[in-house]
Amino acid sequence: MTRLVADDIRSIPSTIGLYDSELKKKTGSSLKEIAETAVGCPVGLFSPGDVLVAVIPVTAGFGKIEGFPEAVNAIVNHLGFNSFITVSPDVKGLTEAYDSAAQVIMLADDHIFAAVNLKNRKVIDNGHATAKGYIAALKSMAGNLEGEKALIIGAGQVGGKAAEYLADLQVRMAVYDPDRSREKNLAERIKGQYDIPVLSGLNLTDAMKDCKIIFDASPAKAIIRESDLGADTLIIAPGMPLGLEEKVSEKVISRTIHDPLQIGVATMLYDCLV
Ligand code: 2YG
């Protein structure tokens, strides 16, 4: 699990509007629409303005990340929810959230970033929601993916969930992780659960061959080179930092989906409300 740093998220509150319009241009859907479709939220199930969300800073472990509560709160607010950051962190913040009659609380330590719905008792993990939201964004951008080939880079929680969602869409895939046993386990698991081809044991360049989709859920830098990309390859990259070389990312920005928090936060919130 990659730990964000202040520089990754500092600009989110001031750019969330611009981010959303760019996402809409790229995928055809807004952040709210992507979150709604990702979780299958029936239209009109609730009105965001009626939902009070408390974001609670947490000092446990490595402590607070400067700007993290503010970034989460800005994304939730942008989606039209009634949200606030508790004055106190940790347990005191939890009691404040409860006393304020918040319906949902969002908080993260170094292990889990969760959305907890105090009404329906659903607990949604950011990692799982990030995979779900990014695949919804991919579907919105690319339409029917059946028979296409994808490479999953990173066989951790996000990459593993994404592999399942892609397999549900009948997408053939290759899996790559520097930890070869983790790579193999994921490949075997997907092959066992779905009857689609899953390649593993390849070097990265061979694994990327003929891929229409590169799903980068790894923390690796500059792992994807220009020579690895086809003219219409889609880069779906929840991993931080973006795994594209700088000079490449400008060229493929229109077919790259990447953000440090936005899609995962929007999806986890909707997921705990449906
Ligand atoms: O409350 C705070 O400020 C800190 N306790 C937050 C710590 C969050 C640690 N987790 C991460 O940085 C990421 N797993 C968050 C989600 C990243 C999604 N790409």
Residue from 88, 105, 110, 269 whose mutation best tests the ligand 1 pocket (most atoms within 8 A of CB): 110
**Low-confidence winner among 78-92, 125-139, 217-231 (lowest mean pLDDT):** 217-231
The pTM score is 0.97
Residue among 67, 74, 215, 62 at smallest CA distance from 145: 215
CB 108 within 8 A of CB 265: no
Which residues does residue 236 pair with via DSSP β-bridges, in sequence order? Answer: 215, 257
Residue 43, pLDDT score: 86
Q: Is the CB of 239 under 6 A from ligand 1?
A: no
Which residues does residue 125 pair with via DSSP β-bridges, in sequence order? Answer: 114
Q: Which atom of ligand 1 is nearest to the CA of 110?
A: 9
Q: Is the CB of 127 under 6 A from ligand 1?
A: no
Based on C-alpha coordinates, what's the Rg of the chain?
A: 18
Per residue in 129-179, pLDDT (tens digit) is 999 999 999 999 999 999 999 999 999 999 999 999 999 999 999 999 999
Q: Is the CB of 68 under 6 A from ligand 1?
A: yes
Residue from 113, 128, 236 whose mutation best tests the ligand 1 pocket (most atoms within 8 A of CB): 113
- pLDDT over threshold 80, residue 125: yes
Peptide bond into 241 cis (omega under 30): yes
